[in-house]
Amino acid sequence: MKRSLGAATLAIPSPVWVIGTYDSAGAPNLMTAAWGGIVCSKPPAVSVSLREATYTYANLVERKAFTVNVPSADHAEVADFLGIASGRAMDKFAAAGLTPTRSSLVDAPLVAEFPLTLECRLIQSVKLGLHTMFVGEILDVKAAEEILVEGLPALDRARPILFSAGEQAYFHVGERIGPSFRLGRRLLPKT
């Protein structure tokens, strides 16, 4: 017998992503978001949901561009800070000790210190309620050399942070389980 927990955002795990935008004066800003995920393979697209009250919301609507920067576990304290402070009140890049890099593809800044960044062009906005879902087409992915294995990001090298919404905590990535699209073949009917 299962217990009913009510209507709540308890999907697990959620990612910890840092959204990069420029404000109307051209100043780079950052905000941590956990409400998002990949939403399409062709074109490659990612969603991030933001409250209208955030500074990033207005920036994103105006610039029609954003970056999804993936912090490593080494940046957990900084990533948390970027989720509790507002860019209206301070230069969050400076306060966090991070370096903005200008994208050559979209009108949004990358975080130089983070191992992985998706450069996104806004293609859809869907107001759902407290949050508006922004869908960005991924125009390029920039990765630090040290997280790549055979040219692709390896989870145990990038060491992204996981968010657990119920207990309000961050977690590390653990051990590898096995290969996707192969692990379950044993259960396919014999032909």
Report in angstroms how near the CB of residue 63 gets to its own copies at its nearest: 19
Report in angstroms how near the CB of residue 58 gets to its own copies at its nearest: 19
Q: CA nearest 29: which of 93, 113, 103, 111?
A: 93
Number of Cα atoms under 13 Å in the Cβ half of residue 151: 0
65 vs 161 by CB, closer to its own copies = 161
61 vs 133 by CB, closer to its own copies = 133
All residues at 6 or more sequence positions from 118 whose CB lies less than 8 Å from its CB, including other chains: 46, 67, 68, 136, 138, 140, 141
* Cα 41 to Cα 43: distance, rounded to the nearest angstrom: 6
12 vs 62 by CB, closer to its own copies = 12
Report in angstroms how near the CB of residue 126 gets to its own copies at its nearest: 6
* Cα 135 to Cα 138: distance, rounded to the nearest angstrom: 9
Report in angstroms how near the CB of residue 3 gets to its own copies at its nearest: 5
60 vs 96 by CB, closer to its own copies = 96
